[in-house]
Amino acid sequence: MFSTSILRNLTLAGLVGIAISASVAQAETIEVPVGSQGQVAEATHLRGKKQDQVTQELGEPLNIQGPVGVPAISRWEYGAFYVYFENDRVLHTVAKHQG
């Protein structure tokens, strides 16, 4: 059968593997309130556009958060809505919570 040292090494290897996979699996989360998750009709045409095109159409954002994670996600804030980017392309536009 297995010796005590082999079982100890297998257990140690398993624990190290779990620790490594747990550290790799961590990601930063951007939370958006449920009331803010509606699309903005006047900004839906932005989907797929690059950041410089958005700046040309809407001007400079009030605030920029990110980028975070892989792929890089960032959020630009405008008056009534947010624009979410993956790398430099628009993913979604989301209405700000009014309340």
Structural element, H or E, at residue 85 = strand 81-86
The whole-number average pLDDT for the span 69-95 is: 93
**Phi-psi map region of 54: left, alpha, beta (phi>0 left; psi -120 to 50 alpha):** alpha
Please tell me the predicted confidence (pLDDT) of residue 95.
84
Residue 95 CA to residue 80 CA, distance in Å, equals 6
Cα separation values, 49 from 18, 40, 63, 65, Å: 40, 15, 19, 18
Q: Is the pLDDT of residue 84 over 70?
A: yes
Any idea where the domains of the chain sit in the sequence?
A: 30-95
Answer for the pair 44, 57: CB distance below 8 angstroms, yes or no.
Answer: no
Overall pTM > 0.75:
no
Model pLDDT for residues 47-73, shown as the tens digit of each residue: 999 999 999 999 999 999 989 999 999
Please tell me the predicted confidence (pLDDT) of residue 31.
66
